[in-house]
Chains A and B, each alone.
Chain A
Amino acid sequence: MAPVHPNLRAALHHLPVHLPIPVPRQFGRAGKRHMSEKNSLVILVVTPGCDQFPSLESVENYTLTVNDEQCFLLSETVWGALRGLETFSQLVWRSPEGTFYINKTEIEDFPRFPHRGLLLDTSRHYLPLASILDTLDVMAYNKFNVFHWHLVDDSSFPYESFTFPNLTKKGSYNPATHIYTAQDVKKVIEYARLRGIRVLAEFDTPGHTLSWGPGVPGLLTPCYSGSHPSGTFGPVNPALNNTYEFMSTFFLEISSVFPDFYLHLGGDEVDFTCWKSNPDIQAFMKKKGFGEDFKKLESFYIQTLLDIVSAYGKGYVVWQEVFDNKVKVQPDTVIQIWREEMPVRYTKEMELVTSAGFRALLSAPWYLNHITYGPDWKNIYMVEPLAFEGSPEQKALVIGGEACMWGEYVDSTNLVPRLWPRAGAVAERLWSNKMLTNLDFAYKRLAHFRCELLRRGVQAQPLSVGYCDVEFEQT
């Protein structure tokens, strides 16, 4: 085995690869058992790239060969090697006496979709750094490769900005304890990278921005009650030059802090009532010839923002409203589809987005924060991302999907059991062959995997009645 690179060394730690691994094999007539001991897994990576960041284009293929002669993991890139190591760790089993075994195996594997993400919301509830890092660990066990970090929103602004420190000082729940410092952010990005996970940072505007207001006076639109300000605020004010100067500076910081090519710029649920009430905005609308159509104003804002971000050499992902409201976006924009029924059923939305030539990410049926009684993992699992009307070219534009764990009712007390093993159903749907739809087969493996998660110290909740050999115990 070549010197073990930090990427790979980190992935090896929970895995007894250095212990002798007998491979049981039966000779024909004599029935004599011949144990072949494996004392190393040889890894061969074809293309260098250990110190790089994973990207949407990363090749995650690998093959795994375990037989008498060899114990060999071959991959194109280090990212594939990470995926292969996870699979390898899942193949090792123990007999009742305690002996570690691995069966003769031939695996050829690669993901169905390149973007397999998980969204966490750290604005509605602050999540301690440890919770985020732990989540990245379990994402790796499930071969998730994108951490969509919805950092800020109406409720709080925990991201520590160095160009606008007041954003955090005035916008966080508690600027001493409920923040992510620059160091914290670096830690997340590197921890993710070592697991082949991209960090897709989202700074959602112009809506969902109430917490930005206290730190940047004049940024948000003052709502009016008749001819007087009501005292409340609405979305970012698109009518002021200052707004775009601010966004320019702010997103320069964001572009430099987050290395992934893509940034998520939000653009969802913009409430027009406040804009409508504001006389300055009414005047602006008139000047621009937008009439009464506030979608045009929203368009104007977002287009300007997208141009700013493009100039920094970034690509972007936006929520579907940006597409629905006919904002003019660059052709390589990724549209994230999250609305189940409105304005159309999400399958129809997939059709519309891809027929317009945009790449799509599916999230609508995978809102894991929407809990219900019973084994809802089955519904999650049975979603077929490409089950919409469209040509093969259109279907090719679906680059993957994301399970979303919005934070209104979630924090570190219930995040882990609510995420796992349910998110595992999304993980398989995005990685594995589309033919894999047998629920009994899935149940057997997912139930076993849940017990394995427990063994690895993950507080994953039960799928249904039953038990694991070692149950979870609070430390």
Chain B
Amino acid sequence: MATSTERFARIVYKNWPSNVFNPLTRVINKRMWRWTSGVTLKPTAKILVEFDPWLGPEKTISCRNTVRMFANQKARKTNPKCEITTKIKNDRSEPIINIEYTDGERLIFKSAHLHELEIMERYMKKCAEKDPEIKLPL
């Protein structure tokens, strides 16, 4: 599993068509599929995602994709009590993902320069520490 963003470098809207037809997306999507199928919200109580959509597509893309992965029906079924809220700001500030676990522990992601796979990897590792039943996808 990659830990650096260089492996997931993507060109988003520097030249508009190239991000849409980026050859790296196929590689990324395969890995994403494995991680999205195993997402659990069991140890989490709240997820608050704040972003400013007018800040730029490069900085907001990972935050928006993580929201999609968390708010998936499969993920929501694992813990229906978990509150997922999106807050849209208008002050050109960086996107933040605030995760609050049931123990009271908080995990804050400043996702401007992070890829969604890195966020999911870190989040799932923390969940696995809290709940030993959770298995990480290989």
User: Do the two shown chains form a genuine complex with each other?
Assistant: no
**Which residues of A line the B interface, CB within 8 A?**
none
**Which residues of B line the A interface, CB within 8 A?**
none
